[in-house]
Structures are given as C-alpha cells and as structure tokens.
Amino acid sequence: MSRNQDGTYTLGSFSSEKDESIFDYLVSAFIPRSAFDGDKLFEDFCVVLKSRSLIKREEMDTLKTLRNAITLHVAAIMHNSVIIVNKHVSITLRVSLSKDEGVTVMAAAPTREPPKKVTFWASPMYVVTGRLEELCSNALLAAGKLDAAELEIGPDNKLTII
C-alpha cells in the first residue's frame, strides 16, 4: 500500500497472482460491523427532538410506537443511493435481508480502480435488528433480489416494495 497526499491509502500492484488471491480471500472473509444501527439512530433522533423542544414528554410513548417505521425509513432512503468516490468509482448502497441480522444496508466498495481486476468489499453501513417478519412485508420477503426494487414504509410500518 502507498499513502496518498490526502492521507488515504492505495493498493499498489501485486507481485504475484498468489498475493492477489490471498488479498481477495481476506477481503471476502473479513466481516466488519455496521457503521451505525437503528437503535442508535432512534435514540439520537429522540434526543434531538427533546433538546429542541419539538416533542413533549407525554408524546414520547407514541413516538416509540413508530420506532420501526422511522428506522426502516432510513434504510428505504439509503437503498439504491449512490456514493460517488471519484470519476472512476461509485458505490451503490443496497438493502439486504438476513434472518440473523434483520435489515442491513450494504456498501460494496471496490478495492481497486478499473481497469485493474476489481474485487468488491461488502461492508454493512446501517442495520435495523429484529425478526424479518416484524420488519418487512410479505411482498418484500417474497421478492428475492432487491437491486432494482424501490422501497418504502407500508401502512403496517414495515419495509415494503413500491
């Protein structure tokens, strides 16, 4: 790796195909924790509402009933959002469903820029933990691949397909 002027790092060339294969394996095997989660987001949201006197104490119980809708709305907004890294690299955020984790927004970041062989490093950005049946509509659970889908919060406060 070499250090760029802005403090970031760039992968140099690999000395052999074996080195490149080892790197690709390590990138695919490494599982990072999410950058933030629905619990923290909702907690911070409540703190901001209280500190700005935008909600009364007696309204907090009602707000808590909307926790899933609020935290899942963030996932719906992030789904299919594109982060432009530079003129050659962009990262598309995608919702992923997991019985173990719940609803996760993933970012597949390329480890190298084209025209070199590109390996993607999938990293969770945001997670809403819970049982999928409580977080997602039946239509969403039956949908399979979500890449082209647009998502929203349904009348039952669950994540669903538009």
pLDDT in tens, the chain (162 residues): 566 676 666 666 666 778 767 766 665 655 667 778 999 999 999 999 999 999 998 999 999 999 999 999 999 999 999 988 888 778 899 999 999 889 999 998 776 665 666 667 778 899 999 999 999 999 999 998 888 899 999 999 999 999
The per-residue pLDDT for 14 is: 64
Report in angstroms the alpha-carbon separations of 3 from 9, 10, 26.
4, 6, 21
Instruction: Indicate the number of domains in the chain.
Output: 1
List residues bridging with 98 in a β-sheet. 102
Report in angstroms the alpha-carbon separations of 160 from 23, 55, 64, 73.
37, 28, 20, 10
Residue type, 46: C
List residues bridging with 97 in a β-sheet. 103
Phi/psi of residue 65, nearest 5 degrees: -70, -15
Structural domain boundaries enclosing 148: 2-161
Residue type, 79: H
Assess contact for 53 and 84: CB atoms under 8 A: no
* Cβ neighbours, 10 Å, residue 82: 9
pTM of the predicted protein model = 0.76
The per-residue pLDDT for 46 is: 96
81 Cβ contact partners less than 8 Å away, ≥ 6 residues apart: 92, 93
The per-residue pLDDT for 111 is: 67
